A = this chain, B = another copy of it.
């Protein structure tokens, strides 16, 4: 990892470590410290800093505001993990598993408040704009999560419906992260719009990678292997498999939507079916398409400072799956 990117990451982690969380009620605040310290790449505040850095160099002045992105993201993880009944997150117990669902609901709520609190450290001249865009983004993230849950009760979902869902659930927050950095730096509106679109591309690629990792990532990523299959979650893999082989739709969905109790080897059977349809390659090809489009948009930006850090970070994210 590039030295400057490492410094940015250290600065972000430093900011998170510096949160002055009240001691009590401990059931409210300990889960927040716990989830925030599970680590991760801090992708969202990193994107904001990298976008800011294309126009201005005094990153310390915006460091607090951009941490709103990380806290908001972790809020969504805490609530999503309840809804998905996920036992693990980054290889550790999820909040509702380690504590309980009620504590996870309320800690998540406080995290959302904390995100707005951090956001309000943005300079007053851009605060109304950022607040408005952040609200829109947050609402879209919730819509995406609701669609994701709704999809579980639908027999099948088209590839397009799936892509629309992950755009909202994952991509818009990455788009807003880059846009926020640009807005904080006073970048031209045209640039902040383009950066938003770069984030959308990255987010779509990112989520498709996540779908791939569920079955093809091994267990080194700290998640349950085949969790999506076990929980009958509509992922790109299953929607694409149905699109490619509609004649086999009924049989494939029958197995995909079966309970593990009745089909303990369900994950293996589904993986075999996907392999026959080259689903892994299909996903990789679409990921590459989104990545290339995003990279092209970055290249076309006319910024006062060089773009190599943002491009480096983009490449680091791409490297998540071989």
- Among residues of B, the one whose C-beta sits closest to the C-beta of A132 is B120
The answer for the CA separation of A27 and B150 in the assembled complex, in Å, is 8
Contact A146 B116, beta carbon cutoff 8 Å: no
Q: Is A127 an interface residue (CB 8 A)?
A: yes
CB A261 to nearest CB in B, in angstroms, measures 22
Contact A25 B150, beta carbon cutoff 8 Å: yes
- Kindly identify which residue among B82, B113, B124 contacts A128, using a CB–CB cutoff of 8 Å: B124
- Kindly identify which residue among B82, B117, B150 contacts A105, using a CB–CB cutoff of 8 Å: B82
The answer for the CA separation of A270 and B182 in the assembled complex, in Å, is 62
Residues of A104-148 at the interface with B, using a CB-CB cut-off of 8 Å, are: 105-106, 108-110, 112-114, 116-117, 120, 124, 127-128, 131-132, 135, 138-139, 142-143, 145-147
Contacts of A286 in B (CB 8 A): none
The answer for the CA separation of A149 and B108 in the assembled complex, in Å, is 15
- Among residues of B, the one whose C-beta sits closest to the C-beta of A104 is B105
The answer for the CA separation of A82 and B83 in the assembled complex, in Å, is 13
Q: Is A79 an interface residue (CB 8 A)?
A: yes
Chain A interface main SS type: helix
- Kindly identify which residue among B79, B103, B110, B139 contacts A113, using a CB–CB cutoff of 8 Å: B139
Q: Is A219 an interface residue (CB 8 A)?
A: no
Contacts of A25 in B (CB 8 A): 143, 146-147, 150
The answer for the CA separation of A120 and B83 in the assembled complex, in Å, is 29
Contacts of A299 in B (CB 8 A): none
Contacts of A150 in B (CB 8 A): 25, 27
Contact A110 B82, beta carbon cutoff 8 Å: no
Contact A135 B116, beta carbon cutoff 8 Å: yes
Q: A113-B142, A116-B116, A139-B113 are in contact. Are A149 and B102 (CB under 8 A)?
A: yes
Q: Is A12 an interface residue (CB 8 A)?
A: no
- Kindly identify which residue among B28, B79, B138 contacts A146, using a CB–CB cutoff of 8 Å: B28
Contact B28 A106, beta carbon cutoff 8 Å: no
Contact A135 B106, beta carbon cutoff 8 Å: no
- Kindly identify which residue among B22, B82, B114, B120 contacts A131, using a CB–CB cutoff of 8 Å: B120
**What is the interface of chain A, defined by CB distance below 8 A to chain B?**
22, 25, 27-28, 79, 82-83, 101-103, 105-106, 108-110, 112-114, 116-117, 120, 124, 127-128, 131-132, 135, 138-139, 142-143, 145-147, 149-150
Give the 3 A-B CB pairs with smallest separation, nearest first.
A28-B146, A25-B146, A117-B135
